[in-house]
Amino acid sequence: MNFMVRPSKCFLFDYLEKTLKPYNQGMALDAGCANFKNRKFFKTDKYIGLDIDLEAIRAGIKKFLDNSSFGLLGDLSNLAVIPDNSFEAVVSTNTLYVLPWVLRFNAIKNLCRITSTNGIIFLDLEFDSQSAQVIDLFKSNFQEVKVIYYKNIFSNFYEKIFERQGFLGDHPLAGKKSFRILAWLISRLEFLTCRFSLLNKHLILMGTKKIGEAWNNQFEISALPLMEPRIYYLMK
C-alpha cells in the first residue's frame, strides 16, 4: 500500500508495485526517474534510472547504496544508443506529459523498442486526444496491451480541494498521515472506474509479449562514459 497525498497516485503506485512483482530478472529502466522515486518497486537484477536532472540522480544514488542501482544522465528524446529488446521492465511515470507531442511519441516508440521480447512496458500518460495513437502504437508492438484509466471524478475532486490553496504536496493537511490514509481509501474507488475512459484524466498503458523479434540484447551501461560512481552519461 502506498499512502500518497493524491488518491490518483496511491492507485498508480499500488498498480505499479503489483505489476512489477513477477519481473525479477534482467535489467529495468525507470525513464524520468527523478530521485529514484520508483526504485522500491523493481525486483530485477539491475535498476537504471534515467533522468535529465543530475542532482536528482545524485539524490537517488545516495538513497540506494546497493551495487545494482545505477543512474543514467540523458534525455528521453535521445534513446537511439540503447539496443533493441534490452530491458525486461521499462517504466515511466509522471514524466512523458512534459514533452511536446512529436518528441513524446518518438520517446514512446523508443521505449517500446528497447523492451525485451518477454518483458513489460508500463507508461503513465495523460488521457487526451492523442491517446488513441499511442494505444495503436502499443498494439503494433505487443500482442497483449492493457489500458487502465485513472484519476476519476472522486480523486480529482479531492485533489482540487487542496490545490486551490497551493501545491498539493506542500499542503499542511494533505501531507498528514490521517489524510494520506483518507487519500488511499478514496483511491480504492479508482478500481470501480478504471475500465472506462469516461470521466478519467489519466491512463496506464502496459504492453507484453512483443511482436516479431524473438531475441534479446544486453545493454552494457559500463560501455558509456562514467561521470561519477554509478552514474553514466547517455551520449547523443
Q: Is 172 a member of any domain? A: no
Residues 6+ apart with CB under 8 A from 113: 79, 84, 85, 141
Residue 53, sorted as left (phi over 0), alpha (psi -120 to 50) or beta, turns out to be beta
Distance CA 160, CA 26 (A): 40
Number of folded domains that form the chain: 1
The pLDDT of residue 230: 96
pLDDT at res. 173: 74
pLDDT (tens digit per residue) in 60-94: 999 999 999 999 999 998 898 999 999 999 999 99
- Residue 170: pLDDT band with limits 50, 70, 90: low
- Residue 63 belongs to a domain: yes
Structural domain contains residue 122: yes
| Residue 43 pLDDT exceeds 70 | yes
Element (H, E) at 199: none
Whether the CB-CB separation of 74 and 52 falls below 8 Å is answered with yes
CATH number at residue 128: 3.40.50.150
- Say which amino acid occupies 223: A
DSSP letter string over 65-91?
Answer: -STTEEEEE--TT--TTSPTT-EEEEE
Domain span including residue 128 = 23-151+202-233
In a domain, residue 97? The reply is yes
Task: Note whether residue 48 is domain-resident.
Answer: yes
Q: Over 80: is that where the pLDDT of 172 sits? A: no
Q: Would the pTM of this model clear 0.85, i.e. be above it?
A: yes
Residue 69 lies in a domain: yes
